[in-house]
Structure 1
Amino acid sequence: MGDLAHVTEIDRVVSGRAQGSLRDAVVTESWRRCVESYGLNPTATDAPHIVTDAELRAHREQAERLIAVARSGLQGLFKQVAGHNYVLLLADAQGVCVDFFGDPRFEDELRSAGLYLGSNWQEELAGTCGVGSCIVTGEAVTIHQDDHFGLAHTPLSCTAAPIYDSLGQLSAVLDISLLRSPTPKSSQNLAMSLVKASARRVEMANLMATARQDWVLRFSTSPEFLEVDPEAAVSLDGAGRITGLTHAAQAALGATDPGALLGTRIDALMEMSIDDLPDLMRGRPTEERVLRLRDGRGVFGHAIAPQAPRTPRPAAVPEMPAPLAGFAGPDPVLTPLLRRLGQLAGTEVPLLLLGETGTGKERLARAVHLSGPAGRGFTVLRCAGLGRDPLPEPPAGTLFLRGVEDLDTAGQGAVLALLEARPDLRAIASARTDISAAVKAGAFRSDLFFRLAGHVAHLPPLRLRHDLEWLLTRLMRRHVARDLSLSPAARAELSARNWPGNIRELQSTLDVAAALAEGRVIDLPDLPGPSLPEAAAAPPEADLQSLLDACGWNMSQAARRLGVNRSTVLRRVRKAGLTPPS
């Protein structure tokens, strides 16, 4: 269809003159929204809507658990469809692509088409499209070529399916797209089957991951794939009440609202009780595990027992908000620090984050902000040079003061005046050094210091962290499009370095290595040398103890991080009288 014909057809649909149109109703209704609600122009050739790097990080952090749950299944799906030039996008509920699988040979084309990380496919921005229309309707859709509203997208074919969380809320959209495809829309029927099945499996995996302390009842209309690929599932507490479900379970149980099922006893929906679940576990022939719904329909059931005993959570160990939980892996210093910040996230207590350059202070501030009340602004003020000009007027919310040790006398006065005039601002400040010494020396105003230091958090440098393996795995996700991995030798080398630039230096090192790697494995020759290769000064006794703990008392690894010989480390250990933990 030519451009003029496409625009003419949209005009006829919107004006009600398209009787007998062969377009799907989901397409024509979306076209009407594009014109009447969003005021979009189909002839516009705007570039794809791409969020900023900071916004993408925030979206990915909020979706981190879902990305982790979905990744294995999506990798398998991509292997199935990659030979047909399909691209996989995982978008969050706001339409932003937070995970991506595509052929790196077509990276430029994919970026230009918006089929890449950070693209925003909300219908009100991109017009009729797979992700956007799926979010609006809550159903799987295929938007094929000139089904798209904007001319810029008409070469594409996009098939998308919704992913619901265990409480029945839309949490993501899985999209399979082609830059160019065969003309008939029916050519995407297989893509529709694959994307719906994959979305169902992601929901199932998510339910299993979130219901470890509950019974899970999985069921299907046929017995063949009940144990390996069931159609639907619910989680049940010890009293037989539904605590979570997949979207297919909502449909199978005849509910239009998931809220109507949550808290409902299973014996109100099926001719069974919680005491019958052990009989539905493996070991009994599938054909004998028949469940009868209250409306007379029959399904086959498979029960999975709780993986951990249901015990009350101690009041002293509150749940850590997801943005903070995604900041670090297992680490004896960071875990309690993040837990305390989680308890403070919903308050107005000002925070002072101390740590060497590159330790992630701004990212931690954003995680605290995201863990607090929704709908508030996050403004970054770089303190170097502040006070020479009037300060910008930040919106109500979190004010992140980056590098407060760089404030001169005028800047300190300007920041203090702003905080005194704006009680709707919650200050989170960062510093590379402990500014309490500057307060004692009179170089930093004490009244400003006490306005900023409601709670002080010390971020450990990377060389003292115990979660370096976790961090390597997390940072490698930036190169997911190429499916890169680290060789054991490269991983050992990275684990042994001192990292004076901390996470920022590690991330840059991985980016360089990824660019230099010729295959899918980053090996030793691909790694750039250390940024500061000179030997480190002898650390204080407490720091040496912490460094050895982080290295698991591996003397060779500790020596590599310090840039000294192994014998030097042994001599310092003996001199300090340190002994390994029993």
Structure 2
Amino acid sequence: MVERHHFEEIAQVLDGHASGRDSYVEASWRRCVELYGMDPMRSDPAHIVSDTEFRIHRDQADWMIGAARSSLHSLFRQVAGQNYVLLLTDAKGVCVDFFGDDLFVDDLRTAGLYLGSNWAEDLAGTCGVGACIVTGEPVTVHQGDHFGNAHTGLSCTAAPIYDSLGQLAAVLDISLLRSPAPKSSQNLAMSLVTAAARRVEMANLMAASRREWVLRFSSSPEFLDVDPEAAVSLDGSGRVIGATHAAKRMLTRGKSLIGEPIESLLGVGVDDLPDLMRDRPTEDRVISLSDGGAVFGHAIAPQAPRRAATGKISGEKRTSSGFRATLADSDPGMQRVLTQAERLAPTQVPLLISGESGSGKTKLARAIHMASRRGRFVELHCAGSSADMLRVALSGEAGPGTVLFRRIEEMPEDVARVVAGLLDALPDMRPIATTGLAPAELMARKILPPALYFRMSGAVLDVPPLRERQDLGWLIDRLLRRRRGGEMRLTPSARAELIARDWPGNLRELGNVLDVACALAETTVIDSPDLPAAPKTRAPEQDLEAVLDACNWNMARAARRLGVNRSTILRRIRKDGLRPPD
């Protein structure tokens, strides 16, 4: 009965009726159905990542765990004995650190309040961590606020943790398996978790800024020197190079601070900072704000150079070469490929890069060459090439370099027979080949002579297709910034439509779609009608239940097949009285 009521409440929200719940909860319910294709009648268990995936997320978050551990210890002591559990997740929603009572650990594991659980909204539905990631703000998702029936007993309060460049780095969540019915019962939890997140950001900024001036400030003087509200770090000219999220909110009402001169934000310049150090009374360290208000400041001078701490929360990618930040964000599949590429780049090992058309194979090859610093880069298109063309292209090569064979499966047989000999004559030229086929298929179909295949495939890098990547939103933003001077923006509906597509043409198709949308948009805002239509492979008059069965009752996939919205699928399910198989 409770499940039916929950389903009906969500259905009313989808039909445009108010539920009385917080607006971010209703918005999340709509996303769950219309964007992710979720079914509120299903009681799906918590999503736990594999051991391999967890190790990847944990390794990437090691720096974040270190920055947050002290604040988590302190917060857990504050709530000890009240049955709370603390989760620290990365920006993708995967729990990488955990504090909880050992007496309830089995119940916590079952509920997903444990290491390795993934609370991203598109997997877990409406929840504290997922809503926090989407909104970028502290939220409480209490009992029936949750979308999935499996989680309606939980109460979860989460706060975002931002890096010093203003990007979301983590989420701190405090949850209860069972709690009092009123949502207001979690007001104290909200105060505690937001304060803890603020302290994590402060600790990171201080650790990352030992060689720069740091200006910390508060609206009252009592706790300025021991627990300030906000802080910025400054370069030698007084420009902001790092800030906590509270500083961004206090000084610019949410706009970026990076690069701004401090005197444009506060009534002080870099030469005034020594007067704000701790040897003066707190009450005397008053700084005027641009809006006429005032705060109390505490300046900390640059310290002696120290060995750089590893794993700080910062805007930089943790990599020894620069190419990773241009090719992917935090997609696990691409990160594995790039980690391998980064380690192989300085070697002589021949590389075979496989992947679908338009997935970025050539770009990866060029990035590997740049990271290797091997001199000249020669690019050869195998389709229609001849042995004579190959000899001309490679003639006169001296010293180290890289030769790229694009689409090696299209190399003519007579050319393939002479390539190995040419490469042996040019030992300093490292071969990299790309292919649209799986390496096993190259061998099985005997497209290349075995000797040449093994000569070209010292290591294989498999680039995942766009539809499998978890950083699609990041890729969309990155490509959009390169168009029309970076002025174009997407409406939420346009962004949702792009993310829902299958992208058979991968990055090449995405780039073309954005080019068309930028050309068609009448302003700097791209809306859904500005997007070129995605190809439809199925007609909408198909039998709905048969399509749902074929899609394993994934409503997003079924909607794509039928060419309709997810909300239409849900309404048809209700109208026809359809239910998923047990």
Global fold match (TM > 0.5): yes
Q: Which of 184, 187, 207 does residue 185 from structure 2 map onto? A: 187
Q: Which of 92, 103, 112 does residue 110 from structure 2 map onto? A: 112
Cα distance change, pair 425–64 in 1 and its aligned pair in 2 (3 A): farther
Q: Which of 417, 423, 430 does residue 433 from structure 2 map onto? A: 423
User: How far apart are residue 322 of structure 1 and its match?
Assistant: 6.0
Secondary structure of residue in 2 paired with 1:160: strand
Q: Does the 8 Å CA contact 2:324/2:338 hold for their aligned counterparts?
A: no
Distance in 1 between the 2:15 and 2:456 partners? Answer: 63
Distance in 1 between the 2:435 and 2:54 partners? Answer: 24
Look up the match of 2:28. Answer: 30
Look up the match of 2:44. Answer: 46
Matching residue's letter, 1:5: H
Secondary structure of residue in 2 paired with 1:5: helix
Look up the match of 2:254. Answer: 256
Distance in 1 between the 2:175 and 2:81 partners? Answer: 13
Q: Does the 8 Å CA contact 2:95/2:114 hold for their aligned counterparts?
A: yes
Cα distance change, pair 68–127 in 1 and its aligned pair in 2 (3 A): same
User: How far apart are residue 108 of structure 1 and its match?
Assistant: 1.9
Look up the match of 1:10. Answer: 10
Query: Normalising by structure 2, what TM-score?
Result: 0.57
Look up the match of 2:279. Answer: 283
Look up the match of 1:268. Answer: 264
Q: Deviations over 1:469-517 (max 9, x none)?
A: xxxxxxxxxxxxxxxxxxxxxxxxxxxxxxxxxxxxxxxxxxxxxxxxx
Secondary structure of residue in 2 paired with 1:423: strand
Matching residue's letter, 2:298: H
Q: Which of 285, 290, 294 does residue 294 from structure 1 map onto? A: 290
Distance in 1 between the 2:5 and 2:138 partners? Answer: 27
Distance in 1 between the 2:326 and 2:298 partners? Answer: 45
After TM superposition, list the pairs within 5 Å mapping 1:34-433 onto structure 2.
34-258=32-256, 261-308=257-304, 342=321, 367-369=339-341, 421=409, 423-424=433-434
Q: Does the 8 Å CA contact 1:322/1:371 hold for their aligned counterparts?
A: no
Secondary structure of residue in 1 paired with 2:118: coil
Secondary structure of residue in 1 paired with 2:21: coil
User: How far apart are residue 33 of structure 1 and its match?
Assistant: 1.4
User: How far apart are residue 63 of structure 1 and its match?
Assistant: 1.7
User: How far apart are residue 308 of structure 1 and its match?
Assistant: 3.1
Distance in 2 between the 1:103 and 1:370 partners? Answer: 41
Q: Deviations over 1:449-472 (max 9, x none)?
A: 786399xxxxxxxxxxxxxxxxxx
Look up the match of 1:545. Answer: none
Look up the match of 2:458. Answer: 452
Identity of aligned residues (%): 59
User: How far apart are residue 212 of structure 1 and its match?
Assistant: 1.6
Q: Does the 8 Å CA contact 2:433/2:456 hold for their aligned counterparts?
A: no
Unaligned runs of 5+ in 1: 314-318, 325-338, 349-362, 374-378, 382-390, 400-416, 427-443, 455-582
Distance in 1 between the 2:155 and 2:342 partners? Answer: 35
Secondary structure of residue in 2 paired with 1:300: strand
Q: Deviations over 1:52-84 (max 9, x none)?
A: 111111112222211111111111211222311
Secondary structure of residue in 1 paired with 2:80: helix
Matching residue's letter, 1:238: G
User: How far apart are residue 22 of structure 1 and its match?
Assistant: 2.4
User: How far apart are residue 205 of structure 1 and its match?
Assistant: 0.8
Distance in 2 between the 1:104 and 1:420 partners? Answer: 56
Secondary structure of residue in 1 paired with 2:88: strand
Distance in 2 between the 1:371 and 1:155 partners? Answer: 47
Unaligned runs of 5+ in 2: 309-313, 328-334, 346-350, 366-404, 410-431, 437-449, 461-582
Matching residue's letter, 1:295: D
User: How far apart are residue 255 of structure 1 and its match?
Assistant: 3.5
- RMSD over aligned Cα, in angstroms? 3.9
Matching residue's letter, 1:169: Q
User: How far apart are residue 288 of structure 1 and its match?
Assistant: 0.2
Query: Normalising by structure 1, what TM-score?
Result: 0.57
Q: Deviations over 1:241-283 (max 9, x none)?
A: 000101110110124332xx21110011111110111111111
Q: Does the 8 Å CA contact 2:160/2:168 hold for their aligned counterparts?
A: yes
Distance in 2 between the 1:344 and 1:40 partners? Answer: 36
Report how many residues are paired: 367
Q: Higher RCO, 1 or 2 (CA under 8 Å, sep at least 6)?
A: 2
Q: Does the 8 Å CA contact 1:45/1:151 hold for their aligned counterparts?
A: yes
Distance in 2 between the 1:78 and 1:39 partners? Answer: 36
Q: Deviations over 1:196-251 (max 9, x none)?
A: 00000011111111112211100000001101110011111110000010111011
